[in-house]
Amino acid sequence: MAPSLDFSVLWAKDTRKGTPVVVKMENPNYSVVEIDGPDAAFRPVDKDRGKNAKQFTWVLLLKAHRAVGCVAWLATVLWALLGAVKKRLIFRQGVAMESEKSSKGKLLFKFLRGFLVLSMAALVFEVVAHLNGWHYFQNPNLHIPQTSEIEGWFHMVYVGWLEFRADYIAPLILSLSNICVALFIIQSLDRLVLCIGCFWIKYKKIKPRIEGDPFKSDDVEGGGYEYPMVLVQIPMCNEREVYEQSISAVCQIDWPKDRLLIQVLDDSDDESIQSVIKAEVAKWSQRGVNIVYRHRLIRTGYKAGNLKSAMSCDYVKRYEFVAIFDADFQPNPDFLKLTVPHFKDNPELGLVQARWGFVNKDENLLTRLQNINLCFHFEVEQQVNGVFLNFFGFNGTAGVWRIKALEESGGWLERTTVEDMDIAVRAHLNGWKFIFLNDVKVLCEVPESYEAYRKQQHRWHSGPMQLFRLCLPAVLTSKISFLKKANLILLFFLLRKLILPFYSFTLFCIILPLTMFVPEAELPIWVICYIPVLMSFLNILPAPRSFPFIVPYLLFENTMSVTKFNAMVSGLFQLGSSYEWVVTKKAGRASEPDLLAAAERESKAIGHTQLHRGVSDSGLSELSKLKEQQEAEPLPPKKKVNKIYKKELALAFLLLTASVRSLLSAQGIHFYFLLFQGVSFLLVGLDLIGEQMS
C-alpha cells in the first residue's frame, strides 16, 4: 500500500521557533515584558483601536467621495456614448453614408427605432406588472392561462398562418418566380448565343483587316504618304492622380505633328489642379507637340457638355476624325495607325472602338471580379455585335469617330449621363456602321474601392434606362430595318439593360430567401444552382486565369444586383439619382513596363526637340516651381471615416436568417447557397472587399 501523505497534521502544529526569554528591568519606570517568540513583538495592532469619531467621519467622507466620483465617471462615459450614437446615426457626423441625400436609406433606421420603441413598451409593461404584483400571482382578478390553453392559442395562430400562406402568399410568389425564371432562361439563351458567336469568330479567325498601305498616296507623281487630320480629345475633371500619364501617353502618339491636334478639356473646379494641368500642357507644347488647353467657365452637361463645347471650335472643321481618351487611359504610340486606316475606302464606317486593358486587375478581389465582367463585355458582347451587326454601344473612350458621323447624328447631347451610348444609338439610326478591334488595347484603371465601383455601376445602369425612354420614339420611327429595331429594343435595351438586373435582384435576392419561409413556393434546383454556375463558367471563359474566383464572382454578382436594380428603377422612372454624375476615383496606377517605356519615349522626345528648349524655359521653370511647392507643402491628412452600406447589410442579415431557416428545414443546397450569398453581402456591406481608407 502506498504511504499516506497527509500533511494536515503537520500544518496544524505550532511552527514557532526559538526559546522563550524573560527580561527583567531594574528601573521601576519600565514594565516587564514577556516575549514568547521572535514574531510576538511584531504582530499587527488593531487599526480600529484608538480611532476617534472624527477620524471615522473622515474615512466615511473619503469613501463617499470615491463612490460619487465613480458614479460621475460612469455617467460621463454613458453620455459620451449616447452623444457618439447621436452624431453617427442621426446627424451622420464622422461616417460616410451610402448616399449624401437624407431621404435615402432611412427605412433601416426607422425599423431599428420601431424595434426600440417596442422593446421600451415591453419594459414598461414588465415594470407595471412587477408593481402590481402580477409576477407573484397574488392578484385574484388576474387570470393565469393554463398550458393547454396556451398551446391551443399557438396552434390556432399557426394553423391560420399556414392557411393564409398557402392561399395568398404562395400563389403570388409562384407567379412572380415563374416570370423571373422565364426571363432568366431567355437571358441565359442570349448569353449562350453570344458565346457561340465568339467561338465561331475564334474558329474562323474573323477580324477587321487593313488591306495594303493605307497611308500611301494615290498620286503616282507624288509617291508620298497622306495622313488624315486627326483631333485627339482628353476630357477630365479634377484628375490629379492621372492627368500627367494620360497627357504624356497621348503626346507620344506616332502621327505627323502637323496632322494632329490634342485638346485637353479640363473641367476641374480646383485651381491647383488647373495650374498643374496647364503646366503639363505648356511643357509638351514647348517640345513641339500641337496641344491646347481648354477650360469652361460654365460647367454644364458633365462630359457631354465638355465635348460639345470643344467640338464647337472653328479649327475643328479642318479635321476629319476625332479620338477620345478619358483621363486614366494610356494609348500606345501606334494607336492611330492601327485604328484610322479602317476608315479608308469605307465611307459608311462611323466608329472604330478599341478594347480596354487594365493595369490594376490583380490589385484586390474587387478588381479581379471586375476584370471578369469587362473581359466578357469586350471579348464576347462587343466583338460579336461588331462582327455580325456592325453595332454596339460606344464605350466613351479609346475610340475614333468620323466627325461627319457625329455631326449628322446630332452631336453630343446633355440629356443623359451615358452620352457615349446616346451618340452610338443615334448614329446607328442614321445608318453608320461600327468596328470593334479586339486586338488593339488601351491601358486604363478599374475602381479599386467598392464605393467608387458602386457609383460607377449606378451611372452605367441608370443612364441606359433614361436613354431608352428618350430615344424609343426615334427608334420606332427610324428608317432602319425591322430586325435592327427589334435588336435595339428587345436585346440591347430591354434584355441586357432592364431584364437582367430585374430578374437577378427579384429571383435571387427576394424570391429565393422567401422560399425558405414559404415551402409551397419551392424553386427547382436547376434554377438556383446549375444554370447560374454554367453562366458563370461562360462569363469566365474570356479570362481563364479567373477560374479560382468563380464562387466569389457568382455571389458578388448577386450582391451588385441591389445597386443595379436601384439604378435601373431610378433611370426608368427618372428619379433624382439618375441625373447624378460622380467622377470615378482613380489611383493613378501604371504597369512597370509601361512606365519604363514612357520614360524612354519621353527622353527621346526631349532629345529630338532640343531646339525648342530655349523657348520653353518659362514653362519648364513654372512647372519646376509648382512641383517644388507641392513637395514642400504636403497635403493635410484626411480624416478616416467608416463607410456604412445599409442596403447591403440589411440584405445580408436577411439572407443569413434565411440560411439558418433552411438549415432547420434540412434543405442542404439552399442552406449553403444562401449562407455564402449572405456572407458575400455582409463583406460588401462592411466594406471589406478592396476598400482602402483614405
User: With contact defined as beta carbons under 8 Å apart, do 343 and 358 qualify?
Assistant: no
How many other β-carbons are positioned within 10 Å of the β-carbon of residue 400? 26
* Tally of CB atoms within 10 A around 327: 29
**333 contacts 432 by C-beta, under 8 angstroms:** no
Give the span between the Cα atoms of 418 and 301, in whole angstroms: 11
Per-position DSSP letters for 218-275, written without gaps between them:
S-TTT--B----EEEEEEESS-TTTHHHHHHHHHT-SS-GGGEEEEEEE----HHHHH
Alpha helices for 478-616 (secondary structure H): 482-486, 500-506, 512-515, 525, 531-540, 550-572, 592-608
Q: Cα dihedral sign for 63, 64, 65, 69?
A: positive
Length in residues, the chain? 694
Alpha-carbon span 281 to 490, nearest angstrom: 45
What is the rounded CA–CA span in Å between residue 197 and residue 98? 40
CA atoms within 13 A on the CB side of 545: 5
607 exposure class (CB count in 10 Å sphere: 0-12, 13-18, 19+):
exposed
Q: Exposed e or buried b for every residue in 572-600, given b needs 16+ CB within 10 A?
A: beeeebbbbeebbbbbebbeeebeeebee
**Of 175, 172, 154, which is closest to residue 164 (Cα–Cα)?**
172
316 exposed, middle or buried (CB, 10 Å; 0-12, 13-18, 19+)?
A: middle
- 504 and 559 in contact (C-beta within 8 Å)? no
Residue 388 in 3-state DSSP? helix
Please tell me whether residue 322 adopts helix, strand or coil conformation: strand
Neighbouring residues of 56: CB distance < 8 A, sequence distance ≥ 6? none
Residue 444: helix, strand or coil by DSSP? strand
| Residue 34: strand, helix, or coil | strand
The β-bridge relationship of strands 21-22 and 34-35 is antiparallel
Q: Are 292 and 263 in contact (CB under 8 A)?
A: yes
Residues known to be catalytic: 267, 420
**Residue pointed to by grid coordinates 427605432:** 113
The Cα 688–Cα 449 span in angstroms is: 9
Strand partners, 444: 358
Question: Measured between alpha carbons, how far is residue 132 from residues 126, 138, 141, 144, 209 in Å?
Answer: 10, 9, 11, 15, 92
Rounded CA separation 624/620 (Å)? 6
- CA 82 to chain centroid, in Å, comes to 31
CA angle 671, 673, 676 (to 5 degrees): 100
CB 173 within 8 A of CB 514: yes
